[in-house]
Structure 1
C-alpha cells in the first residue's frame, strides 16, 4: 500500500507524465517526448509487476500491461499505449488512497497508548518513555489522560471511558483496588495505579495483536477467488495468442490484454474482510479472522450457556440451608468460601461477598481441584470438602453421594450448590441471577433472521435450565451437563449437518467454544481468557451484538459476491465481448477496466461504517 509521502511523490510522477503527453500531443513540445512519457510509465509498472511476481508469485495487471505495451510499441500504437498506461496509473493512485483510508481507520483504533508516562519515584513525579515502564511501578494519570498500562488503582477516584475496549462510551466509576486497562482514558478525576502489564502484554495489546492477525487471515472464499485467478491468467494468455494467430489485430490484442488482468479477483476479499473487522471492533466486537465471519454467515443453530451468558453474571446468595443440626449456616459458608477462593467463576464472587458480610476469615485450601462448570474439590486440614451442583455431588467420579432435594423456592434463575466434607452433605447454598434484559429480544430477532434451532446447555440443574428456556422461548434445554457432554452435544448436531454457533462466557465454556463452528464469548467477566478461547468476543457483554455481528457477516459476503460479479462478469466477460464486436477501443478499455476496480474498493470500504438496526 502506498503511504502518504509516497502518494505525493507518485502524484508528482503522474503529473509529469500527463504534462509530457499533453504537450507532445498538442505539439507544444516535440512529439518525441511521448517516448519519454511511455518510458516513465513502463519503469513504474515494470517495478510493480516484478515485485508481485517475485514476492507474491502473482501475475498482476501490471504484467498484462507490459505485454500490451510491448505489442503496442511494436505496432507503433504510441499514443494509445501512453494514454492507457496513464489511465491505469491514475487508477492505481486512487486505489491506494482508498486502501489507505481503511488502514487509517484500523490504525486510529490501535494508536491509543501514550509514548510518555508519569511515574512516582521516591514520592516525586518523573516523566519517562512508555518502554521504560516496568511491572510494579506506580504511575499517575490525571483527568483527560490516557491510561498507558494495565494496573490496579492504589489511590484516587476517576470516571473512566472504556470505549476503546468495549465500544461503549458509558463512564465507569473506579476507585482503590479497581482494575484499569491500557487505551482507556480518564474523563474526570486523578488516580495512582500500580503497573501490572505493559505493551503487548496488556489487554489492549493482545486485542491489537488479534486484529492484526485477523487482517492477514483468509476466508475460504478468498482461496476460491485466488484459484479462479490462477486459472484465468494462463487461460487468458493462451487465448490472446490464439486470437493473434487468427486476427493479427494489434488493437484487439491490446484491448483483450487490458481486460484480461485478474486484479479484481485479488482485491475482492481482503479489503472487505479488513473493513468488516474494523467495523466490528468499533462496535465492541473482536473478530479473530475472516474465516469466522464466513462461518458465522452460514450458521443455522445457536447454543447458549446459561450462567453469565443468558443471565447477567452478577449472582447473589439468596439463601443457605443446613441439612442437619450438626452443621450451622456459618460452617457451610466457611467451607464454600474456602473452596471458591481460588475460582474465577461468577458464583465464587457471590459466595465470597456473602462470607465477607458474615465477617468470615476465608482460609486457603491445601489442595484445589476445579471441575469446570460443575464443582470444586478441596483438601484442608486432612478434610476432603466440596461445593458443586447435584450432578457433581452424585457423580461416581466425584462425590458419589445420592440424595433427594428440591430446588430453591422455584426462582427462575436460582442455582443450587451443595456443600459438604468427607462424603457428608452439610447443606446447600441458593444463588440467584437475573436473565439479561436484552436476551429475549435478541433471540426473537435471531429467529426472524431464519435461525431456527436454539439450545441452552448448562451445568446447572435441569429444572432451572428448562425454566430459563421457557422464559426465553427456547425449545431445547439440557441441564446437568459436564463440559465433555456439552462438546458431545455440539458434535452430534454437527454430524447432522448443522452449522453451530456456541455462545459462552469464555472461561468455563472454552472447550465448547472451540468445538463449535464459531465460538462467541462474552468477554467482560474475563476478557483475556475469552480472547484466547473464542473466535469472536463481545467486549461489553451485550447480547444484541450477536445480531450486529451476524448481520455484518451476511453483509460482508453479500458485498464479496457483488464484487465477484463486478470484477469477473462485468470486466472480463462483457469487456471481451465488446472488444470482439469492435465496440470499444484500447483507451476506452482502460477506462472501462479502471471503473469496476474502483467500484470494488468503494463497495468494500463502506463496511467500515456498518450499523445494525438493533
Structure 2
C-alpha cells in the first residue's frame, strides 16, 4: 500500500488541488461551510498520506526530515480543525516534489538522447577489398572504414584517402565545416557533409572523443544529484528542536493541551510555504521573461556564481559565418560581384555560401571552365575572363599582384578573426571579402551587467583557433580566452577552476558542450541549441536571447533573498509565539493559529513580489 501511494503521489496532488478549489468555491461562492470543510479535510488527508509515509521511512533510517515537519503541521491543524492550512501546506509540498521529479527525469533522458546520437554502424573493408556494413561493436582499431556523404563518422581515426567537408559541431561546437584530406584526423559522431573518405580506425567505442563526452556527462550528473535542498538542511535541526521542546513541556507541566499548542505553534505553515512560494513566483517570472530555471537547487547555486564560462559559437556569436567586410579595388563593382557569384554558386564551401547569400540576386555569367585548387579556391573561365577566387596563398600561386593597400586590408581583417576570400579578374585583384561568425548584438553590454551583478570572471572556451577567440575576447572585454579546446579540455578546465574554489556557470548550445554544462555548478543552454544541451542544463535561455542571462542571474539573487526573508518571518513568528506561551497569559492555540494565518499571508505576498521583478536599470 505504501508503494502504491508513493507511486500515485502526483495524481494525489492533482486531486488535492481540485478539492481545494471546490472547498474555497463552496465557502466563499455558495457559503456552504459543510461542503467546504469536508472538501478541505479530504484534500488534507489525501495530501498528507504520501508525506507521512516518507516521514516514516526516513525515521526508520534515523533521519528527521522535512516530511515529518509537514506531517506534524497537518496533524496540528487537524487538532484545531484548521483544514484550510493543512490542505494548502500538503498540496504545495507535493507540487514542489513534482517539479523536482520532472527535472530529474529530463536530466536522465538527456544522457539517453546523447547516447542515441552515437553511430550504430559502419562500412568496413573486407579481406577482398570491398566494403560491407557492420555493427559499430564489430569495428576494431586498425580497420579501414568508408564514410559517404551525409553519414556519421563511426570512430576516431585518420583519413587514408578521399576528400570532403565534415561538420564537427558535435565535437568542437564550430558551425563551419572543416575540409578533410589524406592524413587529416576525424572524430566519431561528426557528419561528412560532402565527399567520400576512407579512414583508419584509431579509437573505437567508449575510447572515442564522442564516447568520452557521454562518460563525462554521466559522471557529472551522478555527482550533482547528491546535493540536498537548503530547507532540508534547515529542518534537520529545527524539527527535532520543536519535537523535543513539546515533549519537555509535557513532562514538566503534564499539560497535554500546552504540549500540543507548543507543537502546533512550533510548526508554522509559513516555513513550509515560504520557500516554495518564492521558488514558484521566481520561476514564473523567469518563464515570462524567456528563462527556464529548473528547480530550487538551481536557483540557490546560480545566485552564488562568481565565474561564467562561455562557449563561443552559437553563444557569444550568432553561429553562422557571414560576410562582415567587403572591399573593392575596382570601379566595376557590380561586374566583379557578378563574376564572384557565378563562380561561388558552383561551390559547396561554407564561405562560398556566405558570399552568395550576401550578394543576393544579381546577374550571373555562364561558367566555361573551372579548376579547383585544393585548400586554396577556384580558378575559372567566365565570359572569356580568367577569374581566380580563393585565399591569399592561391593569389600568390597564381602570381596575382597585391597592392600595399590590399596587404594592409588583409592584415587588418585577419586580426579581426576573418576568413578571407579574394577575387582577381584577368590577373588583377579586384575585391576582398572578410567572413566570420559575428558577435551577437549587444552582448558586450549584457556582459557588463553581469559584472555589475557580481560576476568576477568572464571566460570563453572554443574549438576555434586561438587568434579568432582572442579577437572575440578583446571585443567583449572577457578576462580569459582559450581556443583549440575539445570537450574534454573544456571539462578539465572547469574542474581546475572548481578546485580553486570558484563557483562556475557554463553557457553553451551544442552536444560538445553537454559535459561542461553538466559538470559546472550551473549549466546554461541557449534555447536554439541541441536537445541534449537543453536537457543537460540547469537554466535555458529560450529563443537564444542573450539579454535574458543578466535577468536570470539577477532574478536568482532576488529569489534567494526573498526565501531568506520568508524563512526569517516564519522563524521569527515561531519565536514570538513560543515565547508568548510562557511569558503571557493571553496566548492560546486559536490566537496562535490566527498569527500563523497572518504570517502565511505575509510570506505569500512577499513571494509574489518576485512576479514583478525586473533587472535594475544600468548604471
Q: TM-score, normalised by structure 2?
A: 0.54
1:250 is displaced (CA, Å) by: 5.0
Q: Deviation at 1:545?
A: 0.9
Among 566, 571, 574, the alignment partner of 1:572 is 574
Of 497, 501, 506, the residue aligned with 2:505 is 501
User: Within the alignment, does 1:463 sit opposite 2:470 as a pair?
Assistant: no
Change (3 A) 1:227 1:538: closer
Give the superposition deviation at 1:227: 4.3
- Match 1:256 to one of 253, 262, 265: 262
**1:276/1:552 contact within 8 Å kept:** yes
1:446-498: per-residue Cα shift (whole Å, max 9, x none)? 11122121222223332332232222222322233333322222222122111
Q: Return the alpha-carbon distance in structure 1 between the equivalents of residues 74 and 475 of structure 2.
A: 64
Note closer, same or farther for the CA distance 1:503–1:565 as it changes in structure 2 (3 Å cut): same
| Aligned equivalent of 2:600, options 571, 587, 597 | 597
Query: Which residue of 1 is the match for residue 313 of structure 2?
Result: 307
Residue 63 of structure 2 is aligned to residue 89 of structure 1: no
Helix, strand or coil at the partner of 2:439: coil
SS at match of 1:562: helix
Distance 1:453 1:61 in 2: 41
Q: 2:348 aligns with which of 337, 344, 347?
A: 337
Q: Does 1:560 align with 2:556?
A: no
The aligned runs of 1:142-541 (5 Å cut-off) are 223-229=229-235, 231-261=237-267, 263-317=269-323, 337=348, 350=354, 353=357, 408-411=410-413, 413-416=416-419, 430-524=434-528, 526=529, 528-541=531-544
Matched residues in 2 for 1:68 and 1:101: separation?
20
Deviates more, 1:496-505 or 1:532-541: 532-541
Q: Is the 8 A contact 2:77 2:86 kept in 1?
A: no
Indicate if the aligned counterparts of 1:52 and 1:60 stay in contact, CA closer than 8 A: no
* Partner Cα separation in structure 1 for residue 436 and residue 285 of structure 2: 36
Shift of 1:53: 1.5
Shift of 1:437: 2.9
SS of equivalent residue, structure 1 residue 456: strand
| CA positional deviation for 1:576 | 1.0
* Stretch moving more, 259-268 or 536-545: 259-268
Aligned-partner Cα distance in 2 for 1:489–1:255: 55
Partner residue in 2 for 1:611: 614
Q: Is the 8 A contact 2:229 2:297 kept in 1?
A: no
Residue by residue, what CA displacement relative to the aligned partner does 1:365-385 show, whole Å, maximum 9, x if unpaired?
xxxxxxxxxx9xxxxxxxxxx
Question: What RMSD, in angstroms, separates the aligned Cα atoms of the two structures?
Answer: 4.9
Q: Distance in 2 between matches of 1:561 and 1:9?
A: 31
Does structure 2 retain, via aligned residues, the 8 Å contact 1:415–1:461? no
3-state DSSP class of the match of 1:557?
A: helix
Q: Which residue does the alignment assign to 2:118?
A: none
Q: Determine the C-alpha separation between the residues in 2 that align with 1:458 and 1:406.
A: 28
Q: Hey, what does 1:53 align to over in structure 2?
A: 52
CA contact (8 A) 1:297 1:553 kept: yes
**Aligned match of 2:190:** none
- Match of 1:304, SS? strand
**Alpha-carbon contact 2:569-2:603 (below 8 Å) kept:** yes
Give the 3 Å change call, closer, same or farther, for CA 482–97 of structure 1 in structure 2: closer
What secondary structure is seen at the aligned counterpart in 1 of 2:525?
Answer: strand
Task: Check 1:10–1:513 CA distance in 2 against 1; reply closer, same or farther (3 A cut).
Answer: closer
> Closer, same or farther in 2 for the Cα pair 1:228/1:348, shift >3 Å?
farther
SS in 2 for 1:469: helix
Q: Is the 8 A contact 2:305 2:504 kept in 1?
A: yes
State the aligned residue count.
407
Distance 1:6 1:242, change over 3 A: closer
1:501-548: per-residue Cα shift (whole Å, max 9, x none)?
222233553333333222222233x46454235332222333221110
Following superposition, the deviation at residue 305 of structure 1 comes to 2.7
Judge conservation of contact 1:53–1:60 (CA < 8 Å) in 2.
no
Answer yes or no: is the 8 Å Cα contact 2:494–2:520 preserved in 1.
yes
Call closer, same or farther: CA 1:429–1:521 in 2, change over 3 Å: farther
Report if aligned partners of 2:503, 2:521 keep a CA contact under 8 Å in 1: yes
Deviation (angstroms), 1:282? 1.2
Deviation, structure 1 residue 440: 1.4
Query: Structure 1 residues 410, 293: closer, same or farther in 2, change over 3 A?
Result: farther
Tell me which moved more, 579-588 or 247-256. Answer: 247-256
* Deviations 1:545-577, CA, capped at 9 Å, x for gaps: 11100011111111111122122x213322211
Partner of 2:22 in structure 1? 8
Normalised by the length of structure 1, the TM-score is 0.54
CA distance in 1: counterparts of 2:609 and 2:227, whole angstroms: 20
Q: 2: distance between equivalents of 1:40 and 1:331?
A: 76
Separation in structure 1 between the aligned mates of residue 487 and residue 346 of structure 2, nearest angstrom:
25
In structure 2, how many angstroms separate the alpha carbons of the residues matched to 1:230 and 1:499? 25
